[in-house]
Amino acid sequence: MQVHRSIQSLRAALKNARRIAFAPTMGNLHAGHVSLMEQARHHSETVVSSIFVNRLQFGPNEDFDKYPRTFEADCAQLDAAGVAHLFAPDEAELYPAPQQYFISPAQAQDSILEGACRPGHFRGVATVVAKLFNIVQPHVALFGKKDYQQLMVIRNMVRELAMPIEIIGCETIRASDGLALSSRNGYLSPDERAEAPRLHRQLAAIAEAVRAGRQDFSALEVAAVSHLREAGWAPDYVAIRRQQDLQAADARSPLVVLAAARLGTTRLIDNLEI
């Protein structure tokens, strides 16, 4: 695997690549990231990944400074997963001057769920992903459903801005107890780690209830929020929504249940398609 610190070096290396699949990350890689790279191999000749902890998508009181940085171990995993080129710029390379042009996602998507809890988050995500797309110029790009709303924002950005890139959503990889793999799981104490799968269990219970015919969605949401509170969590939301646009659920559309909740100081998100 070649590691590129500069845009120029990456562009030179990709000059003659025929079909590029790209999966961006913020590093501290786990099996969820690796599954993206493995799927990328099926879609292209040349797999490109990136590691960049993007300051633009972190709020002022979020974990940008303490976000885990494990570059050597990440490289070994990417290499083993068949990644040919890793783009790992520093901030001065990607943002040589403060970024002044931004991609602002549609209000309808930016103002709900993660967007409501993390103002400016999706603007930071869309801006860096657009910039990375311009640098890598992939034919295919892969993102995890773990970040369901992020996947939707990127799909819509690509469609509305006519970017010639196929977006592929990849299934969430979980630990054997159901907890969705996440770099932030490393913040959990042993006791919190033992408690953490409750989030997935709540989502699974809601999905099962809806599949069995329950249509009192807000009662299900409220019950899950209070159950999590009683177990010591601070939930931001539990929400049953339409898969296509994450707007209010109706009986005819495919649905997804999404949740975000803080356990101690760690904020976890998860979702399940119903």
Which is the catalytic residue, given 33, 43, 121, 200?
A: 33
Mask: binding to ligand AMP, 6-45, rule CB under 6 A, as x and -?
Answer: -------------------xx-----xx-xx---------
User: Does 183 contact ligand AMP by CB under 6 A?
Assistant: yes
Q: Long-range contacts for 61-64 (Cβ within 8 Å, ≥24 apart)? A: 62/118, 63/184, 63/187
Strand order in the sheet with 234-242: 234-242, 255-263, 266-273
Residue 263, both tokens? 């356990």
Cα separation, 218 vs 216, whole angstroms:
6
Q: For residue 46, what are the CA distances in angstroms to 74, 77, 82?
A: 18, 16, 9
Cβ-based nearer residue to ligand AMP, 3 or 173: 173
Cβ-based nearer residue to ligand AMP, 9 or 70: 70
Contacts (CB under 6 A) with ligand AMP, residues 156-175: 170, 172-173
Cβ-based nearer residue to ligand AMP, 26 or 48: 26
User: Residues 71, 130, 116, 181: what is their CA dihedral angle, to the nearest 10 degrees?
Assistant: -30
- Measured from the CB of residue 230, what is the shortest distance to ligand AMP in angstroms? 26
- Measured from the CB of residue 24, what is the shortest distance to ligand AMP in angstroms? 6
- Measured from the CB of residue 179, what is the shortest distance to ligand AMP in angstroms? 9
- Catalytic (active site) residue 227: no
- Catalytically active residues, by annotation: 33
